[in-house]
Amino acid sequence: MKKLMILVLCLLVAGTAQAIPVADNFTDGVLDTSKWTPVVKDGSEVIEYPGYITMAQVGARPYMATVDSWDPLTQGTLTVTATVNLNLSQVFVVWTRSSGDYDSDGQPNLGGTIGSGLRFNFSNDARYGVGIFTKEDAVWPWLSPDGYSKNLENWSPVAGDWHITVIDTGSQVSLEVVNAADPTNYATATANTTFVPAVTSNKLAFNCLGKIDSLYINSGNPAASEPTPDNKAVNVAVDAELSWTAPEAFTQEGFRVYFGTTEPNYLSTDYGLNELTNGIEDITTILPSPSPMANDTTYYWVVDSYESGASSPSLGDTWSFTTIPAVPVIADGTPSDTAGFPGEDAVLTVEFDSESAITSNIWEKSTDDGATWTTATGTVTLDEASTPKISELTINGIASADEAIYRCVLANSGGSDTSESAVLALKALKGHWTLDQADFNSNAYLDVSGYGHDATKLGPEMPTFVSGADGNTTGAVGIFDPNYVSTAGTWDPTEGTGEFTMAAWVKWGGNRGGLFSKRNNWAEDDMMFHSAIETDGFVSIARRSTYDITVKSNIKVQANEWNHVAIAFGGSSVSFFIDGVLAGTSPFTLGTGTDVPITIGALTPWGALPFSGWLDDIQVYNYALTNEEVIDICYPITGEEVCIAMPALDIANGDTGLVKGDEGFEGDCKVDLFDFAHFAAAWLECGIYPAVGCN
């Protein structure tokens, strides 16, 4: 059942807070003026009959306001629950942050002369249903709060009793009404509100031309809450107890608890469940029946709360949980992908629960994407005393032979469970195409990394090899045309790490062209990225999302000159390097198309926008290279050192070409005798006035 609730969320600047809770069943036929104040004029009335309140409108609308106030700064979450009887087209309205008096429009003064207010409206009319509105001062119109929405899909107007609850959590407002005779007939409205109005009082006001059978106002829960086991909990022990927290809205006589394996039917007095209590019992803990419960079974339970002297209960929410299976239960998401450099140790871990002792703890590996599995080599450990329980596989000194997917198989006396699989990846060079003529065979550029990702050229024409960045006379190849673009399979360079680096020597011809890409079409799920050199010479990486995402380097490549370009993606950002110099870092994420082709020299595997120039020595790593690692690649050819961190005390002028500063100042990226001499020459200089401060 959808438990009826009106969530009234407000953060207020407090007026004078008085006593809460307020509870009234209107049983004696006399309005309790210690709790309520009629707000009437023009002959309108608030009338209490034995068992309910009603209002009669003559001119201005009649209201009933609380005598006391609610201050969220000191009293916490506001809760209002009501049972009302409405004919078709009748309305029940709750106002919060009210001064308890009329404003100039004839409504309760919502927040005083400079304040704001919230109105929660239930109209038993197909045109309106439920609504949440705000109002500034006494000025029309009523407005919808931020994020406002309503759901009338399961609601239809019908005369009779309706349950209504208002709760202010401080961050969200929502309204839900439920028909008492048919709880499947309900409507909801939700909104967010963050304004903090200036108010003269924090009273509540009500308007209803039908019948209000009961009202509770509190800064706590109106029904039993905080169930143990948690609602929708899984892997609950079969011998678990049931417990809950008593309502804060009233002093209870006790509870009745209903329990079973079918969803509660709120049209039945016992919900179609077994009653665990013997009538009304003053308890907050009880054993389920049966106990122990069955394994791998979903149970439902309801706790009805009875106020002292009340004839009917405050109906409980539907709570549920699922007991632990007899077999071990390995947690979703374990083990997780892991990666390391050659020679490092790798640890794969699963978390699990088990009703009985583990009798078998095996880790397996597969090198053919799960087609076949063998027992993994390494050290396997088991800890059943920890929370959660864990099994681990440790592989010392990982090498390429350890790259695989791994899983854990656990068994106990009830059976076995197999974990999800996880990748163990070696952080390494995963693709390397020299683009030398010597490494071109059968219309493919050979991958010399050892991983076999040969790049097949699209067209049959023999490429023209030219002098490369390293001087090899047949060490580079021109692209310019889709026939000379190549594809290197659909492998994912981020597998196991979530990172990658592409590094290449480029001799750019001056036009925009694709560099290295993993995409089919321009769609988030049909690409991971594409990279290019733009018409202006900046390097870019892009992907499709709900909008296009493109980031660029802040240094250009030079036309018709060999430049080393590296793009390093670190999981949530991308860095560009030109000839080893950091050329910008920007936030970036990849698309989800992990199974699309890798393309060298264009944006797409069919050669869209081929690279305008020559390429040499393309390398792809499955992790984000550091600045130092990028320099290590290009320095043997450029012979140029790169300043990657300017020392703070590099204060003397020097002409090295490494770093250019303001106004022509140029440091040499090291602190030496020249800097010391510059510092010593200014020793004891003082700019303080009066000069006595220099002593």
Whole-number Å distance between alpha carbons of 662 and 229? 65
Whole-number Å distance between alpha carbons of 106 and 1? 38
Q: Find how far residue 662's CA is from the centre of its chain.
A: 43
24-73: pLDDT as tens digits: 888 888 999 988 999 888 888 999 999 899 999 887 788 888 888 776 55
Phi-psi region of 539 (alpha: psi -120 to 50; beta: other; left: phi over 0): beta
More confident residue, 253 or 435: 435
Contact assessment for residue 97 and residue 81, using Cβ atoms and an 8 Å cutoff: no
The vertex-595 CA angle with 623 and 372, nearest 5°, equals 90
pLDDT for res 309:
74
Whole-number Å distance between alpha carbons of 644 and 626? 11
Q: How far from 300 is each of 180, 437, 650, CA to CA, in Å? A: 21, 71, 72
pLDDT for res 10:
31
Whole-number Å distance between alpha carbons of 515 and 618? 10
539-574: pLDDT as tens digits: 999 998 767 889 999 999 999 999 999 999 999 999
Rg of the chain's alpha carbons, rounded to an integer?
36
For residue 436, report the phi and psi dihedrals to the nearest 5 degrees: -75, 150
State the DSSP string of 207-248: EESSEEEEEEEESS-SS-EEEESPTTEEEE-TT--EEEE--S
453-486: pLDDT as tens digits: 999 999 999 999 999 999 999 999 999 999 999 9
pLDDT band at 143 (very low <50, low <70, confident <90, very high): confident
612-635: pLDDT as tens digits: 999 999 999 999 999 999 999 999
Indicate if the pLDDT at residue 195 is higher than 60. Answer: no
pLDDT band at 16 (very low <50, low <70, confident <90, very high): very low
Place of tokens 């050229």: 457
pLDDT for res 695:
76
584-608: pLDDT as tens digits: 999 999 999 999 999 999 999 999 9
pLDDT for res 350:
97
653-665: pLDDT as tens digits: 554 444 444 444 5
More confident residue, 693 or 152: 152
pLDDT, averaged across the chain = 86
Q: Find how far residue 510's CA is from the centre of its chain.
A: 43
Whole-number Å distance between alpha carbons of 358 and 389? 10
For residue 188, report the phi and psi dihedrals to the nearest 5 degrees: -135, 155
Contact partners, residue 576, CB within 8 Å, separation at least 6: 539, 552, 553, 554, 555, 565, 566, 567, 582, 583, 584, 585
Q: Compute, in degrees rounded to 10, the torsion defined by CA atoms 244, 248, 251, 256.
A: -30
Indicate if the pLDDT at residue 109 is higher than 60. Answer: no
* Mean pLDDT, residues 160-186 taken together: 84
Tokens in use for 641? 């050192």
288-328: pLDDT as tens digits: 999 999 999 999 999 998 888 776 787 788 899 999 999 99
Whole-number Å distance between alpha carbons of 257 and 305? 9
For residue 439, report the phi and psi dihedrals to the nearest 5 degrees: -110, 30
Residue 587: strand pairing partners = 573
What is the DSSP pairing of strand 500-508 with strand 562-569?
Answer: antiparallel
Indicate if the pLDDT at residue 233 is higher than 70. Answer: yes
672-692: pLDDT as tens digits: 777 777 778 778 788 887 878
Contact partners, residue 387, CB within 8 Å, separation at least 6: none
Place of tokens 């207010």: 117
372-390: pLDDT as tens digits: 999 999 999 999 999 999 9
In one letter, which amino acid is 468? Answer: G
Nearest to 48 by CA among 62, 29, 67, 33: 29
pLDDT for res 532:
96
DSSP letter at 675? H
pLDDT for res 612:
95
Contact assessment for residue 229 and residue 236, using Cβ atoms and an 8 Å cutoff: yes
pLDDT for res 40:
86
Contact assessment for residue 172 and residue 166, using Cβ atoms and an 8 Å cutoff: no
pLDDT for res 162:
93
End-to-end C-alpha distance for the chain, whole angstroms: 81
| Element (DSSP H or E) covering residue 683 | none
What is the DSSP pairing of strand 422-426 with strand 338-340?
Answer: parallel
Phi-psi region of 261 (alpha: psi -120 to 50; beta: other; left: phi over 0): alpha
Nearest to 205 by CA among 90, 115, 108, 287: 108
Percentage of the chain modeled with pLDDT above 70: 87
What is the 3-state secondary structure of 644-674? CCCCCCCCCCCCCCCCCCHHHCCCCCCCCHH
Whole-number Å distance between alpha carbons of 530 and 509? 19
Nearest to 458 by CA among 476, 475, 438, 480: 480
